[in-house]
Amino acid sequence: MATTIPEPPKIEEPRSSGGNSGNGGFRSLVPSDGNLRAVQDYAPPPSKTGIWVALAAISMTFAAFTSALIVRQGAAMDWHHLTLPRILYFNTLVLLASSLTLEMSRRRVAVFMGGTRNFDLNPARWLYVTALLGVVFVAGQYLAWLQLRSEGLYLATNPNSSFFYLLTAVHALHVLGGLVGLTYVIRKLHRVVLRRSTLDTFSYYWHFMGILWVYLLLLLWMKL
Amino acid sequence: MHDMSAHAAAHQGPPTSFVRKYIFSLDHKVIGKQYYGLGLAAVIIGMVLSWLMRIHLGWTNYPIPGLHLLSKSGAAGDVMTPEFYLQLMTMHATFMVFFVLTVAPFAAFGNFFLPIHVGAEDMPFPHFNMMSFWVTFVAFCVMVSSFFVGDGPTLGGWTQYAPLSAVGAVAGPGEGAGVVLWATSIAIFCVGQLLGTLNFIPNVLDLRCKGMSLWRMPLPTWAWFITSCMGLTAFSVLMPACIMLILDHVAGTSFFVASNLVINDQLQPHSGGSTLLWQHLFWFFGHPEVYIAIVPGMGIISHVLITNMRKPMLSHRVIVYSLGALAVLSYMVYGHHMFVSGMNPLSSLLFSFPTLLITIPSTILVLIWIGSLYGAKLRINSASLFALGFISMFITGGVSGFFLAQPSIQILLHATYFVVAHFHFTMAIAAIFGIFSGTYFWFPKMWGRMMNETLGKVHFWCSFVGVYCIFMPMHYLGLAGNVRRYQAFVVDYMQPLVGVHRFITIAALFTGAAQLIFIYNFIHSRFWGEPAPDNPWQGTSLEWSTPSPPPHDNFGGRHVVVYHDPYQYGVQSSTGDYVMQDSPEQVQTAHEEP
C-alpha cells in the first residue's frame, strides 16, 4: 500500500571526537610559537579511522607471521633453542620509555590547549626525546643482530634464526616508518601548524609499535 | 559531516599543471580512470596470452608467427615448449586475477564513484590514494619485466605452490628470477591495494554527506566497502607470505622447502620447511580474493538492473547482508582448495561445510535478482544486457560449485578442466561482465560522452555466446579426465578430446576478436561520442546529480544533502518516475524500506 513519506533529512551527528582530538575548532592546532591561528581542523575522524585500518593491516601481517612460525615449528625436527640476546630487554625498555615521552608531549599539548600559554611547556622537546629513543631502539636491534651473527647464527642457519631476523626486521622497518612520521610531526610543529589529530594519530601508531614489540618478544622468548 | 569532505577537496585545490592533473593526480576520479586504463592494458595482455595457449592446445606443433619474440628459449622456431606454455598460463592468470579482476571493478570504479556516491568531494587521504595507484603500477611493471629477465616469467601457476616455487632455477625456466619478480610484484601490489582500503573504509565511515546514512548508500558502494574490508585482511596476509617466499629464494631460508628434497637429481640445500604452509597462507588470501573480484560486480549489476527496471530490488538490505555473509564465509572456506593436499580428512569436512553454506547467500542474491526482474519492464541496453549476462554466468559457475564443494567428488575432478570451467564462469567471466556492465552504464559520467548502443549490443551477444562456447565444453573435458595444465595430448584417452579443444580455440579467438568492437566503441565514443547529459539513464543516486563528467570537487562547491533511499523508482515526481537522492521533493512511494 502506498504511503506518504515526509522524509526529513536524516542528519547524523558528527561522531564523538573522543580523547583530545577532533573538536573541530582552531584550538586543536598547535603552532610551535604559541600563536593560535584561525584555521579550522576538520578532519580527525577519517584519520582516526584510517589509523585503525592501518593497525588492522599490520596486525594481520604479524598474525600471518605468527601462524607461519607455529606451523613451521611443528613441521620438522630441526627446531633448536635460541637464546635471545640480552640487549633485547634493554631495547624493550627504550621503546616503552619512548611511548612515555610521547605521552609527555601530548600532555604538554593538552595543557597548552587548556588555555595555559606556558612557553616552557614546549611539546617539541619531548618529541625529540621520543625520536631519539626510537633511533636507539633500532640501533639496539641492530646490535642484537650483530650479536647473533657473532655466534654464527645467520638468517638461513636454522628456522629459529630465520624467524628471529624476519620478525625483528619487519618490526624495525615499521618503527623506522614511525620515525619518518615523527619527523613529519616535528616539522609540522615547527614550520606550519600541527593538527592535534595528526599528533594523536601518530601516537596510536607509536604506542602500537610498543605493544607489538612486547608481543613479539614474548613470542620469540616462548617459541625460539 | 560535509565540512570534513569539503576540507578534503579544499585541501587539494584544482590542479593546474599537466603532471598534477593527469599523472600524479590527487583527484579520485583521475586515479579511478588510471586504474581503469591499467586494467584495460592488463586484460589485453592476459587475453593475448590466452589466445597463444589456446592456439597451441588446438594445433600443438603449429608455429605461431612471431612467438620467438616473446621467448627465444621457450619458443624457438615459433613452437611453444611445454615450459613456455606453463609460463604463459601463469602470467595469464596473474595478470587477470590481480591486475584486471581486482583493479577494474574495485579500484577503478570504486575510486571514481565511491566518494561521489556518499556525497564526498574526494577520498580522505588523496596522497595515499595517488600512491596506491602508482605502487600498483610499479607492481605491474615488475610483473611485465619478468618476460624479459633470464629465462622468462615463472611457470608455477598463479598459486605458486611450494616447494617448486621456492627452490630456484633448478625447478625449471622462470623459477629463479621469474619467481622472485613475481613475488616482489605481488608484495608491492598488496601494498598498493592496502593503501586503497586505507581510503575506502574511512571514506564510507566518515565522509558521508548530510542525510547519507549507511542504508542510504547505493549497492555498489556497499559492495566496495565490504570488498575493502576483505582486501584489508587478505592482502596483509599474502604480503608476508611473498616475503618468506623471496627469502627462501635469495637468502637460503627454509620456510616452505622440506628436507631431503631432490629436484633434477640435485639435493636441495633446505631443511624442514612446510610446503603446506604456503598453501594455507596463499589460500587464506586466495579465496577471499575470489570474492574481492566478484562482490563489486554484484553491487554494480544490482545498481544497473535497478535503474533499468525502474523499481528497487526486492530487498536492499538482504542484498547487503548477503554480500557481508559472503565476505565473512570467504575466510572459512579457503581449505576447499586443498582437499587433495594431504590435509586431515576432518579438516576437509570442516572446510566443506562452510563451502556448502556459502551457496546460501549466493543463492539468495540470485533469487533476489531474478525475483526482482520478474514482471519488470526492463530497459534493454548494453549495460542491462551485461548485467543479465553476469547473472547467467554466476548461476552456471555456481551450479558446478555444488559438485566441487564435496570432497568425494572434488578429488575426482581436482585439477581438471571442470575446475577451469567453474572458476572462469563464477569469478572471471562474471566479474568481466560486471566490468562491462559498469563501463556501458558509467561511461557517460566518466568521460562525458555516450557509447554506441548498437555496437554495445553486438559486443554483448558475441561475448555471451562466445564465452559459453569456450567454457561449457570444458565441463565435459573435465569429466572425461582432461587434466588442466597439460600442454599436449600425449595420453591415448585424451586423443578424442582434441576436436573439443579445437572448437574451444576457435570460440576463444572469435570471442577475443569481438572485444575489438568494445575497444573501437570505447575509443570512438571517448572522443567522438554524443555528448552525455547529466543523467542519461534517469538514475537516482548522487553520481547523476553532478555534471558529466563531474567537476574537480564533484559537486561544484554544493554541499549535498540526501533526503531519500537510493532507489526511489516507480514513484510520481516532478522529474518523472523517480526521485533523486538529493531532491527535497516529497513523494508517494510504496518501496521505502523501514
Asked if B216 and A56 come within 8 Å (Cβ–Cβ), the reply is no
Cα(B273)–Cα(B254) distance, rounded to whole angstroms?
5
Q: Which residues of A touch B562 (CB under 8 A)?
A: 9-10
Q: Which residues of A touch B4 (CB under 8 A)?
A: 42-43, 45-46
Confidence (pLDDT) at A117: 56
Model confidence pLDDT, tens digit, residues A79-135: 888 889 999 999 999 999 999 999 988 887 777 666 555 555 577 788 999 999 999
H helix and E strand count, chain B: 18, 5
pLDDT band at A46 (very low <50, low <70, confident <90, very high): confident
- In total, how many domains does chain A have? 1
Tell me the shortest Cα–Cα distance from A19 to chain B, in angstroms. Answer: 17
Closest-CA residue in chain B for A162?
Answer: B253
Supply the CATH number for residue A158's domain: 1.20.120.80
Within a domain: residue A127? yes
Asked if B255 and A42 come within 8 Å (Cβ–Cβ), the reply is no
Instruction: Name the amino acid, one letter, at B294.
Output: I
Confidence (pLDDT) at A118: 55
Asked if B240 and A170 come within 8 Å (Cβ–Cβ), the reply is yes
Instruction: Name the amino acid, one letter, at B141.
Output: C
Tell me the shortest Cα–Cα distance from A69 to chain B, in angstroms. Answer: 9
pLDDT at A22 over 60: no
What is the domain range of residue A192? Answer: 44-223
Fold of B1-273: Cytochrome C Oxidase; Chain A (1.20.210)
Degrees, nearest 5: CA angle A215-A219-A220:
120
Of the listed ranges A48-62, A180-194, B487-501, the least confidently predicted one is A180-194
B1 to chain A, any CB pair closer than 8 A? The answer is yes
Confidence (pLDDT) at B591: 52
Tell me the shortest Cα–Cα distance from A195 to chain B, in angstroms. Answer: 13
Buried b (16+ CB within 10 A) or exposed e, B282-309: bbbbbbbbbbbbbbbbbbbbbbbbbbbb
Cα(B443)–Cα(B437) distance, rounded to whole angstroms?
10
Model confidence pLDDT, tens digit, residues B471-499: 999 999 999 999 988 888 888 888 899 99
pLDDT band at B534 (very low <50, low <70, confident <90, very high): very high
* DSSP H/E element including A5: strand A3-5
A74-80 average pLDDT score:
80
* CB-defined contacts A:B, below 8 A: 162
Asked if A53 and B280 come within 8 Å (Cβ–Cβ), the reply is no
Looking at chain B, the whole-number percentage of residues with pLDDT higher than 90 is: 65
pLDDT at B200 over 60: yes
Cβ atoms of A124 and A101 closer than 8 Å: no
Task: Give the ipTM of the model, two decimals please.
Answer: 0.90
Cβ atoms of A168 and A144 closer than 8 Å: yes
Closest-CA residue in chain B for A44?
Answer: B4
Within a domain: residue A85? yes
Within a domain: residue A59? yes
Helix-strand-coil split of chain A, %, nearest 5: 65, 5, 30
Beta-carbon count within 10 A of A187 CB = 11
A68 to chain B, any CB pair closer than 8 A? The answer is yes
Bridge partners for A96 per DSSP: none
Asked if A68 and B239 come within 8 Å (Cβ–Cβ), the reply is no
Q: How far is CA A146 from CA A90, A141, A172, B312, in A?
A: 15, 9, 15, 65
Buried b (16+ CB within 10 A) or exposed e, B509-523: bebbebbebbeebbe
Asked if B255 and A12 come within 8 Å (Cβ–Cβ), the reply is no
Per domain, the residue ranges of chain B are 1-273
Buried b (16+ CB within 10 A) or exposed e, B115-146: bbbbbbbbbbbbebbbbbbebbbbbbebbbeb
Cα(B464)–Cα(B458) distance, rounded to whole angstroms?
10
pLDDT at A4 over 50: no
Q: Identify the DSSP state of B23.
A: I
What are the residue ranges of helices labelled H in B448-497? Answer: 453-479
Asked if A76 and B259 come within 8 Å (Cβ–Cβ), the reply is yes
Higher pLDDT, B182 or B261: B182
Asked if B252 and A155 come within 8 Å (Cβ–Cβ), the reply is yes
Closest-CA residue in chain B for A163?
Answer: B255
pLDDT band at B407 (very low <50, low <70, confident <90, very high): confident
Of the listed ranges B185-199, B459-473, B476-490, the least confidently predicted one is B476-490
Q: Which residues of A touch B273 (CB under 8 A)?
A: 72, 75-76, 159
A177 to chain B, any CB pair closer than 8 A? The answer is no
Model confidence pLDDT, tens digit, residues B317-331: 999 999 999 999 988
Q: Which of A159, A160, A142, A138 is nearest to A150 (CA)?
A: A142
Phi, psi (deg, nearest 5) at residue B573? -135, 180
Of the listed ranges B244-248, B512-516, B579-583, the least confidently predicted one is B579-583
pLDDT at B357 over 80: yes
B502-527 average pLDDT score:
96
Within a domain: residue A157? yes
pLDDT at B4 over 50: no
Asked if A64 and B271 come within 8 Å (Cβ–Cβ), the reply is no
Within a domain: residue A214? yes
Q: Identify the DSSP state of A13.
A: P
Asked if B232 and A53 come within 8 Å (Cβ–Cβ), the reply is yes
Instruction: Name the amino acid, one letter, at A216.
Output: L
Q: With a CB-CB cutoff of 8 Å, which residues 41-100 of chain B face chain A?
A: none
Q: Which residues of A touch B253 (CB under 8 A)?
A: 155-156, 159, 162
Within a domain: residue A174? yes
Of the listed ranges A14-23, B346-355, B504-513, the least confidently predicted one is A14-23
Q: What's the whole-number average pLDDT of chain B?
A: 90
pLDDT at B97 over 90: yes
Q: With a CB-CB cutoff of 8 Å, which residues 42-61 of chain A face chain B?
A: 42-43, 45-47, 49-50, 53-54, 56-58, 60-61
Q: How far is CA B157 from CA B335, B361, B380, in A?
A: 18, 30, 40
Which of A2, A57, A77 minimises the CB distance to B590? A2
Degrees, nearest 5: CA angle A122-A125-A128:
150
Within a domain: residue A39? no
Mutation to test the A interface, candidates B3, B4, B579, most A Cβ within 10 Å:
B4
B251 to chain A, any CB pair closer than 8 A? The answer is yes
A47-69 average pLDDT score:
94
pLDDT at A51 over 90: yes
